[in-house]
Amino acid sequence: MTTLSSTPRTRLGRHPERGSDDRAALHEILDDGMICHLGIVVDGTPRVLPTAYGRLDDTLYIHGSTGATSLRDGPSQDVCVTVTHLDGLIIARSLFHHSINYRSAVIFGTPRLVDDPDEKLAGLRAVVENLTPGQWDTARQPTRKEMAATSVLALSLDEASVKIRQGGPSDDDEDYALDVWAGTLPVRQTIGTPSPDPVLRPGIAVPKHIARRVTS
Amino acid sequence: MTTLSSTPRTRLGRHPERGSDDRAALHEILDDGMICHLGIVVDGTPRVLPTAYGRLDDTLYIHGSTGATSLRDGPSQDVCVTVTHLDGLIIARSLFHHSINYRSAVIFGTPRLVDDPDEKLAGLRAVVENLTPGQWDTARQPTRKEMAATSVLALSLDEASVKIRQGGPSDDDEDYALDVWAGTLPVRQTIGTPSPDPVLRPGIAVPKHIARRVTS
């Protein structure tokens, strides 16, 4: 499947021209991100919580403590997971046409609590590797007790939508004559110089895969 | 009021030591952010959408088209607004203790559709100024027609919680002997060099308040 399905929930009400039904675009937005916002309904009201995630093919994995409300109640109900990249501030000539450049993915579905030990490990690996590629094989592996204390949820990417706004400002025709600056302020999420744990044993250099993560 | 109230929704289930009941911390997290994630319930299932916002004292303002589902249905029901800053990736010696540094604010409440023209203008100004301070007085002001096409929602900050994780990794005692690098990768959102609209009239320089927004 290379295109995204359209359902009442994923159909875009506003600015449908910003939508994309390209599954590759969905994967790219997810793989570029580090945290998602998980929406659940508790006692009839919404709750939105930031959390880490990872992707394997067309499944999103989310992990957490077995004690967390969001994960305990998660499998029995629909959730919404949103990943957003803020890419720019659009400065227009009129206040009305101010906007932001962004890429967002919104996923709907009922998550599945992962029981299979192999899939659970693979899901956790996906979460760690999404944040820091190469890290899974470097650190001390989880013990049986640690695995038991961790819940992993799997959410299918079957019902998802992608929305992207890019490019510069778009003003009303008559406003182009104004003496007002217009343009784009690019926004980026950057990773800086690694800061070693103050009690790190002497002689342990920053691993290559950590150094590669630095973007600024 | 300088402390945040505690309600069943704002009481932290996991890691209560990361909570803060400091209203100043709430304001700072909101003022440092550019987009929030708005959670609503539509037909019993959650929907999480990114959007811009602004703060005036203890009220959060969100704007959007009068045609948007999120705003049309918003005033009649509870929403949840979450603002998250990802501040760092925590690389621990064990995979189990990997974590992220973050600051998040979660606000619950039933938003009010702003009818009063003065408050509506003030709310929109707060949204624009939160993204780009100084911009409101520079660009062409909204017309009556543009104002009519825009909805503004006001959400009280009365019911809110703050959660912050900072500092480096915290490993199990026996793992400190491992030959594994541990530390923090700092994450930051940066604003780059302004890119003028290709059809900008010649001779219009980048205004000072725009140049000041650049962080990298």
Spatial distance between the Cα atoms of B67 and B52, rounded to a whole number of angstroms: 17
- Does the residue B91 lie in any domain? yes
The residue of chain A with its CA nearest to that of B98 is A128
DSSP A132: S
Residue B69: pLDDT band with limits 50, 70, 90: low
Q: Which pLDDT score, from 0 to 100, does residue A69 have?
A: 57
Domain boundaries, position A120: 16-172+182-211
- Does the residue B57 lie in any domain? yes
- The pLDDT tens digits for B113-150 are 999 999 999 999 999 999 999 999 999 999 999 999 99
Chain A CB contacts of B151 under 8 Å are none
The residue of chain A with its CA nearest to that of B11 is A69
Average pLDDT, chain B: 92
Spatial distance between the Cα atoms of B131 and A142, rounded to a whole number of angstroms: 42
Distance from CA of B1 to the nearest CA of A (A): 24
For range A71-82, the mean pLDDT: 75
Contact call for B140 and A46, based on CB within 8 A = no
B9, B46, B204 member nearest A78 (Cβ) = B46
Q: Say if residue A32's pLDDT is above 80.
A: yes
B84, B96, B214 member nearest A50 (Cβ) = B84
Residue A3: pLDDT band with limits 50, 70, 90: confident
- The pLDDT tens digits for B70-125 are 555 545 689 999 999 999 999 999 999 999 999 999 999 999 999 999 999 999 99
Spatial distance between the Cα atoms of B183 and A195, rounded to a whole number of angstroms: 6
- Does the residue B200 lie in any domain? no
- Does the residue B10 lie in any domain? no
- Does the residue A87 lie in any domain? yes
Q: What is the ipTM of this complex?
A: 0.93
- Does the residue A186 lie in any domain? yes
Q: How many domains does chain B have?
A: 1
Residue A104: pLDDT band with limits 50, 70, 90: very high
For A71, phi and psi rounded to 5 degrees? -90, -30
- The pLDDT tens digits for B153-171 are 999 999 999 999 999 999 9
Length of chain B: 216
- The pLDDT tens digits for A171-212 are 999 999 999 999 999 999 999 999 999 999 999 999 999 999
Task: List the CATH number of the domain containing B20.
Answer: 2.30.110.10
Contact call for A201 and B195, based on CB within 8 A = no
A146, A150, A179 member nearest B204 (Cβ) = A179
Written as six digits, the tokens of A84 are 């957003």
Contact call for A196 and B183, based on CB within 8 A = yes
